Amino acid sequence: DAGVTQSPTHLIKTRGQQVTLRCSPKSGHDTVSWYQQALGQGPQFIFQYYEEEERQRGNFPDRFSGHQFPNYSSELNVNALLLGDSALYLCASSLLGQGVRGYTFGSGTRLTVV
């Protein structure tokens, strides 16, 4: 049973560019949440998707957007990249009814903005 899969694993982008990160949830899960983890800090909640809609959002600007597809996979898009967007981006999937207790995390995408 595959866990949460994220791609790519590493990515280098230039300031001002746009990036798309991808997440395939664990089999049977219907909810995807995205977190940003800056170096030396704990992960911070970006947003959560369920039934192809953004269900909840953290304190991130509109440059951060997402999408969930009918097969429950998800994308995180970041526009107009800033140096401060350099971080590990983690995806977590779950069943809506289990809430945060049922989270399974992927290994993340390491984004470097130069």
Partner 1 sequence: GIQVEQSPPDLILQEGANSTLRCNFSDSVNNLQWFHQNPWGQLINLFYIPSGTKQNGRLSATTVATERYSLLYISSSQTTDSGVYFCAVRGGQGGATNKLIFGTGTLLAVQP
Footprint of partner 1 (CB under 8 A): 31, 33, 35, 41-45, 48, 55-56, 58, 88, 90, 92, 94, 96, 99-101, 103-108, 110
Q: Are 14 and 81 in contact (CB under 8 A)?
A: yes
Least distance between partner 1 and beta carbon 52 (Å):
16
Whether 23 and 5 have beta carbons less than 8 Å apart is answered as yes
Q: How far is the CB of 51 from partner 1 (least distance, A)?
A: 13
Return the number of the residue (8 or 16) whose C-beta is nearest partner 1.
8
Whose Cβ is closer to partner 1: residue 14's or residue 59's? 59
Stated as kind and residue range, the H or E segment containing 56 is strand 53-57
Instruction: Give the residue with the Cβ less far from partner 1, 19 or 103.
Output: 103
Per residue in 60-71, is it b (16+ CB within 10 Å) or e — as a string?
beeebbbebeee
Pairing outcome for strands 109-113 and 10-13: parallel
Residue 37 and residue 43 in contact, taking contact as beta carbons nearer than 8 Å:
yes
Whole-number minimum distance, CB 16 to partner 1, in Å?
26
Q: What is the DSSP letter of 25?
A: P
User: Closest approach of Cβ 43 to partner 1, in Å?
Assistant: 5
Q: Which is nearer to partner 1, 96 or 114 (CB)?
A: 96
